[in-house]
Structure 1
């Protein structure tokens, strides 16, 4: 038997033409069998007709139902196919959160949106999106519309690309504009200029002052004013500067900070030679260790980075961008007397060196009292005789061209000479012999001049004669 006569074996459902022939054959056989038994043939045929009519009606209803379902399904997925093929966005409503993402209702169809595709940024509260309606892009459509995956992030990124192109077209070198810090790195800060167009501010361009970390100057989300240094067209990079977009604070330092004035400042860091103080953003000054009043615990006692206190300005050098400070104290400081030889002062021992004692006389004034002017005999232990931070009465001996102050303990200068040498030292100093005066040249005696020598010569001649 050929394949055409065996439709079930080939896996193809039987056609509509084969069904009536099979039914007629079965009816004829049944009628013959009943005739042989003597039963009426007409009644059997009527029952068969009723059965065939019922089956036909049932199949017709089932076919109509399937056709209606197919039509409804086509109407449901048709908008999805049009949006998918045209790569257009389509509105959808977030119904609920499910494993891995969200269930989205688009018309009468259901779709799935992963967590990472609901926004361009990380979502901390997924439930906050439930019940909201957004524009989505269909990224996957399979199984006749039963498998639909959508993305809102793709829509946002496409919009940003268009906006970014428009924003970048308006940028020019040297322009100053507003931006917002979008990220931090060890080497600088990223600033969003709008529509996701980001530029980089190198750490050296963040501030007029010195900073060690980027977060010391800016933080994420902070609005900043930047200057466009360069547009790198080959790589779409943008170099920015916050420092050059702001006024140089050193331009008005001389008007803002007067010598002798007291101003508030914050301790930035401590070094062996002094403390770095921030008077204002971008204006950094140094308080040398020598300008602090002597203390047993050291000059760093009470100073911690980040603490604020009053500082007195000693010197301002705008060309070198340097300001010297000294602790300002709680109240007004009495004016210091003029320094001149013979002026007596009261100071505090600051430190001891092998060659003498440094005495702190006041803000900006430190003098040296040499060993020989301490009023102590040679070999005295100066550290025991002059403890740190103790008061001592001194007398100004002199001031050199470099402003260095030479001191003597009060009363010790009278026991020494003008050169600082004590009387006992002068007594013990070996005496030097004065150089002999040269003898005047002798006047030669002529032969005609008579003298003792000539008489003696004459006598010798006569005796030998």
Structure 2
């Protein structure tokens, strides 16, 4: 059983312990408060504080002193007019004015001030607010807290200034680089301040962004070998032309233009050999899936598809059949009707063509295509279209010592041997033909497999007509007529 006296003693000890804890806490708080008092700020001081709270128009900052700081919310908006901070974030600001209860902070000194403040600002490199009032020789006239300052044209921006008038009326933050003659000679630079801001943003960028990340950037310049893309001010990367699109392109401007905002994948970040910056390799095409990944289900051998000629070589033409997927039409697969020596004799870059897929090699990502298979082989069915002994009209292609080549249709050419010409009823009719002249011929023999077609004259000499009549008679006559014909042929043979 517990003694009540002991319980009371325990309670008293517990109360004393609580008092000690309270005293300790109070001591710590007092020490902290005393520490803050000892770190008083002065006008123009640079302060790195932590955001305590965010209001509709003001942001409150823990300055590390007994008084909290306040800055206009509008001053912390980014270049797109967005407020990206949250409670707990650190910000770097400058003391504009202060009282016992409040410290007014800003990103730069502004308002009506004295020459002593400007001199201190030049010594401490404190940004000051200024308005560009006009263009003068070599630069700009800037109003800094009621005093006239000069900003060289090379110091107004980090980029090349094409039109100075564009800056008139703009208000910016500047650093005072020269303060002489009690403020009668003031030179300022915005470029130095921008470079400092850029370095800070670069530091944050490279801490967050790693190889393999996808980021947004703006196209700044196009070159024959690719495109330069600004990721943040002062940080630029390059996308090689082969990384701009899965499709085969000749020029970067086929897919992008300067000023375009695009997503890119960071392929590599490495220190530059020329300076203390980084060389960044980017890819636009790798932000989307590789079209070859779906090739197996999209196309099959034997399919006839339409495509666009994207590139010509000495051995053929590359035809794009899907975005980023192109195949080769070898020069031997371009025409059934003629012998092609140069691809440009058949197609030109940009032409739309029908092709047949002959083979697909997924491992090496190669596709073999054929234009002539899509057009069809004119020799297919030639033996049906050109029956032996039938008379057709052709056109003289060329004359050789051994005979005449006569075109019956595109891709189908027959030969009339010299012997058949001499056996014609009027050989001179064939001898005076010129290339392109029309002529009637008779089909003597057709070999579809070997692509050979032998022609003769429809009006052969009498002896040859008997041979022709004999060929026809075997299939078209019978009875007495057939007997008479065979007997006449036998007699003719015996007399030789």
Contact preservation (8 Å) 1:274, 1:286: yes
SS class of match (2:451) = strand
Q: Which residue of 2 aligns with 1:291?
A: 335
User: What's 1:322 paired with?
Assistant: 367
Residue 181 of structure 2 corresponds to which residue in structure 1? 143
Partner residue of 1:397 out of 447, 461, 486: 447
Question: In the aligned structure 2, how far is the partner of 1:353 from the partner of 1:245?
Answer: 61
RMSD: 4.9
Q: Do structure 1's residue 160 and structure 2's residue 202 form an aligned pair?
A: no
Cα deviations across residues 60-102 of structure 1 (Å, max 9, x unaligned)?
xxxxxxxxxxxxxxx7311211111111110011111111111
Which 5+ residue runs of structure 1 have no aligned equivalent?
Answer: 1-74, 400-404, 413-465
Pick from 442, 453, 469 the counterpart of residue 408 of structure 1. 453
Between the aligned partners of 2:321 and 2:290, the Cα distance in structure 1 is 14
**How much does 1:112 deviate?**
0.5
Deviation digits for residues 6-45 of structure 1 (CA, Å, limit 9, x no counterpart): xxxxxxxxxxxxxxxxxxxxxxxxxxxxxxxxxxxxxxxx
What corresponds to 2:417 in structure 1? Answer: 376
Equivalent residue of 1:173, what SS?
Answer: coil
| Mapping 1:49-64, distance limit 5 Å | none
Q: Distance in 2 between matches of 1:89 and 1:286?
A: 63
> Retained in 1: the 8 A contact 2:220–2:229?
yes
**Counterparts of 1:139 and 1:391 in 2: how far apart (Å)?**
98
> What is the match of residue 140 of structure 2?
102
Larger Rg: 1
- Alignment of 1:113 with 2:151, yes or no, is yes
Shift of 1:204: 3.4
Query: What is the count of residue pairs matched by the alignment?
Result: 319
Alignment CA distance shift 1:187-1:299 (3 Å): closer
Instruction: After TM superposition, give the deviation of residue 341 of structure 1 in Å.
Output: 8.0
CA positional deviation for 1:176: 2.8
**How much does 1:121 deviate?**
2.0
Greater alpha carbon shift after TM alignment, 178-187 vs 79-88: 178-187
Residues 386 and 134 (structure 1), Cα distance of their counterparts in 2 relative to 1, 3 Å cut: same
The secondary structure found in structure 2 opposite 1:225 is: strand
Correspondence 1:249 to 2:291: yes
**Contact 2:379–2:448 (Cα < 8 Å) also in 1:** no
Match of 1:229 in 2: 267
Q: Does 1:311 align with 2:353?
A: yes
Q: Which residue of 2 aligns with 1:263?
A: 306
Alpha carbons 2:212, 2:266 under 8 Å: kept: yes
Quote how far apart the aligned CAs of 1:327 are: 9.1
Q: C-alpha distance in 1, partners of 2:223/2:307?
A: 32
Residues 302 and 76 of structure 1: is their aligned pair in 2 closer, same or farther, counting only changes over 3 Å?
A: farther
- Provide closer, same or farther for how the CA distance between residues 208 and 379 of structure 1 changes in structure 2, counting only shifts above 3 A: farther
Q: Structure 1 residue 193 and structure 2 residue 231: aligned? A: yes
Name whichever structure is richer in strand by fraction: 2
Show the counterpart of 1:133.
Answer: 171
Structure 1 position 122, deviation (Å): 2.5
C-alpha distance in 2 between matches for 1:393 and 1:242: 64
Work out the CA distance in 2 between the residues paired with 1:347 and 1:250.
Answer: 50
Q: Any conservation in 2 of the 1:374–1:409 contact (CA below 8 Å)?
A: yes
**Offset at 1:110?**
0.8
Q: Corresponding residue for 1:239?
A: 281
**TM value normalised by structure 1:** 0.54
Name the TM-score, length of structure 2 as normaliser: 0.51
Does residue 1:85 correspond to 2:135, yes or no? no
Q: C-alpha distance in 2, partners of 1:157/1:135?
A: 12
393 and 193 in structure 1: CA distance in 2 versus 1, 3 angstrom threshold: farther
